[in-house]
Amino acid sequence: MKLLNNLYEDRISLIDACKSNNLDILHQIVIYKQYDVNAKGRDGFTPLHVACFNGNFKIVQFLTSCTEITECNIEAKDNGQNRPLHLACQSGNVDIVHHLMIDKHCDVNAKRRDGLSPLHVACENSHFETVKVLTNYPQCNTEAEDESNDRPLHKVCQSGNVDIVHHLVIDKHCHVNAKGMDGYTPLHYACEKGHFEIVKILSNRRQFEAKDKSNDRPLHKACESGNVDIVHHLVIGKHCDVSVTGSNDLTPLHYACKKGHFEIVKILTNHPQCNIEAEDDYNYRPLHKACESGILDIVRHLVIDKHCDVNAKRWNGLTPLHYACEKGHFEIVKILTNHPQCNIEAENKSNDRPLHKAFQSGNLDIVCHLVIDKHCDVNAKGWNGLTPLHYACEKGHFEIVKILTNHPQCNIEAEDKSNDRPLHKACESGNVDIVRHLVIGKHCDVSVTGSNDLTPLHYACEKGHFEIVKILTNHPQCNIEAEDDYNYRPLHKACESGKLDIVRHLVIDKHCDVNAKGWNGLTPLHYACKKGHFEIVKILTNHPQCNIEAEDKSNDRPLHKAFQSGNLDIVCHLVIDKHCDVNAKGRNGLTPLHYACEKGHFEIVKILTNHPQCNIEAEDDYNYRPLHKACESGNVDIVRHLVIDKKKHCDVNAKGGNGLTPLHYACKKGHFEIVKILTNHPHFNIEAKDNSNDRPLHKACASKNLDSVRHLVIDKHCDVNAKGMDGYTPLHYACKTGHFENVKILTDHPQCNIEAEDDYNDRPLHEACKSINVDIVRHLVIDKHCDVNAKGRNGYTPLHYACKVGHFEIVKILTNHPQCNIESEDNNLEKPLHLACTCIFKNVNIVRHLLIDKRCDVNAKERNGYTPLHYACEESHFKIVKILTNHPQCNIEAENKNNKRPLHLAFSHKPLTESQWDIASYLVQDKGCNTQGIDKKATTYLHIRQSSGIALLRVVKCILTGPPGAGKSTLKKRLLNQSLDTGPSLSTGVIDAAVQVNSFRKLSQHNAVVTTEWEEQELDEEAILDH
């Protein structure tokens, strides 16, 4: 027993014992330690879950018979809603399953979170004996559906157990055509997984042409998975349609070609009905797929045996040869190009030819074949004007470059649409052999400008290709100081990319101008400092002509840029070694110390502030000082250094932009540690006002920082009623931002004025109702007894605001208050019910609550005579309209001051939405509203909508009773002249009404066109008959 006491200190030990399958230890734990057998461990497993999962029958028996402390819960759920029976079915222990079901009467149909029943699990794991135990239980639902609509038969068709399928289909008569996830039938799954024996069982039950949600049929899945026996069975044995289109209009042949199943391709193409030139939604033909997948036998078969069109183009103009070249399938390329009709110069919509595509794969054999054997145009321009040589240089294929440049017609100086030449592409990609070949072997122009006036040297420097840079700069015609459209020179690019060898070469060996100004006036040193390249900075600053104080167009100097990278070595070098001006003002008047504080670089701050000339109180153009930046960025070490350290002692009350002090910034950003440093300073003014009269406490309440608010209110005794911007108190801010804990700190203060009004008469409760924080509203109304009828801006009460924003819980809190005036009027005489009817969130519950539970005046009029129904109609809130009009006192014909009724307002928007038509139809047809004063055309359309049911029947009758294959004029005449004994006549416009009925989704194509005064609408006889 001592051993047990040491080993089993908590409930998890009981689960561990179940995992170990040690019944003796488990017995001692339960009997002597008296642990709860239903205690849950990881993932919500009880000991019984573990025992069932491990398949230990004896432990299961022991646990289910336990009654020492509590009776074992045989239906306990883990975190995934698995019950022990699910796990027993997963492990496949028949004795456990039999025991739980027969002896313990577990729920055989219980579903876990994903909707799987025990039978689903057993089928999924192919446990035949377990399946038989379950299905022989009279209550077992063999057709149960999971969350994806899959049934047990779907699961076993995936797992592939033939015995279970035979049992479910033959013995239990399961529905073999039931549709599961994505509309898959069991046959879809069996074909997809390649289970031939299962396919035979299922296909003997007919319905082997069922479609899934993508329109794929089982044959599509079989051709994709590659099981020859299944395809042969479906095509030859079951006569499936071999040309039927599925997902994206793909045929079975498309799938077989795409996946490279040659034997299946032969079965399909040898069928007399097979359409070998079928196109999918993107104009892919089977040959395109075969050339893309690279199966030589399939391509040979389609081209030579079946004479497929070798020049067929997709929507983007790609031919089979394009695909074969792009993917690098040389043998396929030869088959295609040897075809007498093959167009080897075919262009796609981007103007690329097969030779252009060959460079994407880099296949030398294909290029040689096309250029040498087939004499393709080596200067043809494709996408963006790129020639084959451009592509070869861009991809770095040296051998291909040599083949092309050795061609007598090759233009090595061809320009693309951006003016780039092949040499530009080679310098960008970085292949030294190609660049040497073009520059030295072929004498290409090394200073030619391309895209944005970039030279080859610009590209090489930008990408950091040092060997290429040397080849170019050693050329006598190379312009090393060339400027692009943005005044970048090669040295700027090199300093930005950070390649030390290139910079050293350009500065020391080639004597480039180290002070040259590029984009926005930046020098090479600006770039090196900005990117943090210290070694490059040293090379530049050690140059005798380098201007280390050069200013760009924003007045920033290299030292300012160094703070963007935060490189301490660069800053030390510029400040200590090179004596840069530490007080120089750059962009917006910022000094280096401003930047360092803003970026939070403490070590750099110390270097600067220890400099004898550093002005730690320097102001930028907006009166920001370095301390303001530090408090805003949140670096505690920097703030402590500036405020506390000897000889620093920055002014903690200095006002910056908009009159904000450092404490304002710290509170605004929620930096509590900084707040404490500042407020503990003996000279600090914690009640300082900014230009909007906000104090630090206002900012803290707006930022939701609980620690800062508590510190200012409780420790520092800040004025909790101080008025800031627009007369807001701290409590106004806390309520507005919805921070409950801050609200409690403030309202618990004995001096807090919870009824304070801002400049617009709004009180904290008004703000809380606008911010939709239920806890705050409940606290103010119930705990603090705030005035629920107080009027604020525009005369709104808290209830007005709650109704306007559509928050039902807050509305209930307010209306359940005994003093709440639910009929209070604002300055426009609007009552809360008016605002609830205009709420953009369409909160039906609020309207129902005010109208039915609180008996608000349904006919109340605001200043312009609008009733709630006017507002609901105008805002197209159909559900609210129905609630209002079903009230016995509702005046549906009420007129506003402009004599407009609710029905008029339902038609107030042009064009009308479906919801507005619904409201209008409802008011006229169901409520009998007077249509006087409504537009005649709208009235006519309403009449059509009312009669749409009968009208549609008449359309169907005309088609059903008409002669087969009726032409346009025949059907049009019948539609316009046919009449029923009852109901409205078939007027022009009836088809437009028919379109509004959702069940007629396919009214988009037919051989008969009915002209109405509204539109022309094509009708599909078959579509209507299908529905």
pLDDT at res. 372: 92
Most confident of 11-25, 267-281, 562-576: 267-281
The span from the CA of 258 to the CA of 251, in Å, is: 11
Q: Collapse the DSSP code of 1014 into the 3-class scheme (helix H, G, I; strand E, B; otherwise coil) and give the result.
A: coil
pLDDT at res. 21: 64
Tell me: pLDDT of 409 over 50: yes
The span from the CA of 38 to the CA of 41, in Å, is: 10
Cβ proximity of 604 and 568 under 8 Å = yes
pLDDT at res. 905: 87
User: What is the mean pLDDT of the segment spanning 14-23?
Assistant: 66
Q: Do 2-173 and 858-940 fold alike per CATH?
A: yes
- Pair of tokens at residue 94: 């028949």
What CATH number belongs to 2-173? 1.25.40.20
Cβ proximity of 604 and 563 under 8 Å = yes
Q: What percent of the chain has pLDDT over 90?
A: 76
Strands 1008-1011 and 1016-1019 turn out to be antiparallel
Tell me: pLDDT of 1016 over 60: no
User: What is the mean pLDDT of the segment spanning 600-621?
Assistant: 93
- Pair of tokens at residue 702: 């707006």
Q: How crowded is the C-beta side of 224, counted as CA atoms within 13 Å? A: 16
pLDDT at res. 941: 61
User: What is the mean pLDDT of the segment spanning 247-268?
Assistant: 96
Of 435-439, 457-461, 750-754, 926-930, give the lowest mean pLDDT range: 926-930
Query: Which one is predicted more confidently, 214 or 950?
Result: 214
Confidence of residue 622 (pLDDT cuts 50, 70, 90): very high
Cβ proximity of 721 and 753 under 8 Å = yes
Any idea which residue has 């604002």 for tokens?
826
- Pair of tokens at residue 999: 């069940």
DSSP state of 433: H
pLDDT at res. 917: 82
Tell me: pLDDT of 847 over 90: yes
Q: Dump pLDDT digits (tens) for 524-563.
A: 999 999 999 999 999 999 999 999 999 999 999 999 999 8
Cβ proximity of 468 and 460 under 8 Å = yes
Contacts of 738 (CB under 8 A, 6+ apart): 768, 771, 772, 773, 776
Tell me: pLDDT of 950 over 50: no
Cβ proximity of 359 and 395 under 8 Å = yes
Q: Which amino acid is at 688?
A: A
The span from the CA of 382 to the CA of 348, in Å, is: 9
Tell me: pLDDT of 956 over 70: no
Of 165-179, 280-294, 583-597, 981-995, give the lowest mean pLDDT range: 981-995
The span from the CA of 1011 to the CA of 44, in Å, is: 66
Which is nearest to 606 in space by CA: 630, 577, 633, 631? 630
pTM (whole model) above 0.75: no
Cβ proximity of 164 and 133 under 8 Å = no
Confidence of residue 916 (pLDDT cuts 50, 70, 90): confident
Beta bridge partners of 1018: 1009
Which is nearest to 380 in space by CA: 360, 405, 354, 403? 354
Contacts of 861 (CB under 8 A, 6+ apart): 829, 867, 894, 896
Q: Dump pLDDT digits (tens) for 81-120.
A: 999 999 999 999 999 999 999 999 999 999 999 999 999 9
Cβ proximity of 287 and 320 under 8 Å = yes
Tell me: pLDDT of 1000 over 50: no
Contacts of 270 (CB under 8 A, 6+ apart): none
- Pair of tokens at residue 77: 């759920």
Q: What percent of the chain has pLDDT over 70?
A: 87
The span from the CA of 944 to the CA of 1012, in Å, is: 12
Residues in the chain: 1027
Of 227-231, 276-280, 647-651, 828-832, give the lowest mean pLDDT range: 647-651
Confidence of residue 986 (pLDDT cuts 50, 70, 90): very low
Contacts of 674 (CB under 8 A, 6+ apart): 630, 631, 634, 636, 639, 662, 666
Cβ–Cβ contacts within 10 Å for residue 910, how many?
A: 7
The span from the CA of 177 to the CA of 153, in Å, is: 10
Q: Is 281 exposed, middle or buried (0-12, 13-18, 19+ CB in 10 A)?
A: exposed
Query: Which one is predicted more confidently, 5 or 50?
Result: 50
pLDDT at res. 3: 34
pLDDT at res. 1022: 34
Any idea which residue has 């087939």 for tokens?
374
DSSP state of 781: I
Cβ proximity of 933 and 967 under 8 Å = no
pLDDT at res. 106: 94
Query: What's the chain's average pLDDT?
Result: 88
Domain ranges of the chain: 2-173, 381-485, 858-940, 947-1026
- Pair of tokens at residue 841: 């969130």
Of 152-156, 666-670, 697-701, 1015-1019, give the lowest mean pLDDT range: 1015-1019
Tell me: pLDDT of 949 over 70: no
Query: Which one is predicted more confidently, 689 or 911?
Result: 689
Contacts of 101 (CB under 8 A, 6+ apart): 85, 108, 133, 134, 137
Handedness of CA 247, 250, 253, 258 (dihedral sign): negative
Query: Which one is predicted more confidently, 530 or 913?
Result: 530
pLDDT at res. 958: 53
DSSP state of 385: G
Which is nearest to 955 in space by CA: 1008, 907, 895, 903? 1008
pLDDT at res. 998: 32
The domain defined by 381-485 folds into 1.25.40
Handedness of CA 976, 980, 982, 983 (dihedral sign): negative
pLDDT at res. 763: 97
The span from the CA of 49 to the CA of 321, in Å, is: 60
The span from the CA of 450 to the CA of 481, in Å, is: 15
Confidence of residue 934 (pLDDT cuts 50, 70, 90): confident
Cβ proximity of 458 and 424 under 8 Å = no
The domain defined by 858-940 folds into 1.25.40
Longest Cα–Cα distance of the chain, Å, equals: 106
The span from the CA of 791 to the CA of 810, in Å, is: 17
The span from the CA of 355 to the CA of 572, in Å, is: 56
Cβ proximity of 243 and 275 under 8 Å = yes
Cβ proximity of 37 and 63 under 8 Å = yes
Contacts of 610 (CB under 8 A, 6+ apart): none
Q: Which amino acid is at 598?
A: E
User: What is the mean pLDDT of the segment spanning 560-585?
Assistant: 92
Per-position DSSP letters for 937-987, written without gaps between them: HHHHHHHHHHTHHHHHHHHHHHHHHSPTT--HHHHHHHHHH---SSS----
pLDDT at res. 793: 95
Which is nearest to 754 in space by CA: 725, 724, 731, 726? 731
Q: Dump pLDDT digits (tens) for 644-673.
A: 986 678 999 999 989 999 999 999 999 999
Any idea which residue has 């400049």 for tokens?
759
